[in-house]
Amino acid sequence: MRKLILISILIILLITSPCLAGGIQDKHRAVIAAMSAGGVPPDCSETFTTGDTDDVDGNSSFDAESDSASLLQITSGKLRANVGTNGQNSYVSETSCLADSDTEYTIKGTIEFEDIVDIDDFNSTNIIVNIKPDSVIGDSAYVYLAASGGDIYSYYVVLITAGSETGNTVVMSGLAADTAYDFVLYYKKDASVGEAYFKIGAWDASTTGGNDDNSSIAGGGTFRIGAVVHYWGDGTTDTFIKYDDFEYYKSDQR
């Protein structure tokens, strides 16, 4: 009996050891841990595991890229966006995982700033994320990063309704360069509890409160990230933003 037990344990170890080793190396450690604990797996996910390249959409599952000034790259396994050139938009788009008919979803990832001081010569904003309908001009929601005195300083989210609803401004006191922070973007389309929500790291969430009517908006089947609309530039330091580990959920996973 003892030999039988020992043989059974050995077989179990032989079977599970490769899976454990692969799980440790997998960039989606958090996703795997959540699934093993009974959590909800993402509907889609994205990492940048290819070699360094300027061709982001051709080496990822993003569906399109808009980068006429060559400001987007995959560098060291992350999406790297040059946001120091005033007015030059550059972003990748995801359309196949989301649809205008989806009324609720959560997008997670990491964000990292190479420089946060003297990136601008005045107070200005940078839209880093926007959600828009697939076939209609205009946004459904977007996220602003704001500079104050030339330094990256705060963020807030905007939900498009019949007009627009702006979330509270969150000051990122103690923001550190070259540090990856988790971010969460939540969007819900509803006649009474429509909401946009965005949060970085341990700072507060900027939210429109979950009591808005955005049912007249066409939808949110396109997700863009990078430097969607930005006016930073002409500062002492040009900065780069790095993004990684995207996860898309068609549910509330805040």
* Residue 56: CATH number of its domain: 2.60.120.200
Instruction: Residue 14: give the domain boundaries.
Output: 1-39
Q: How many domains does the chain have?
A: 2
Encoded amino acid at 115, one letter: D
38-72 core/surface letters (b: 16 or more CB in 10 A; e: else): eeeebeebbbbeeeeeeebbeebebeebebeeebb
Judge if 31 and 127 occupy the same domain: no
**Is 220 among the domain residues?**
yes
Query: Is 171 found in the same domain as 134?
Result: yes
On whether residue 94 sits in a domain, the answer given is yes
Domain annotation covers residue 120: yes
Same domain? 18 vs 122 = no
**pTM, full prediction:** 0.83
Same domain, 32 and 46: no
The predicted-structure confidence for 31-41, as pLDDT tens digits, reads as follows: 434 444 458 99
For residue 38, the model assigns a pLDDT of 53
Looking at the structure, tell me whether residues 96 and 33 fall in a common domain: no
Mean pLDDT value of segment 13-32:
39
Task: Verify that 167 and 221 share a domain, yes or no.
Answer: yes
Instruction: Tell me which residue of 50, 49, 174, 25 sits closest to 113, measured CA to CA.
Output: 174
Provide mean pLDDT across the span 131-154.
Answer: 95
> Is 254 contained in some domain?
no
Residues 141 and 198 in one domain: yes
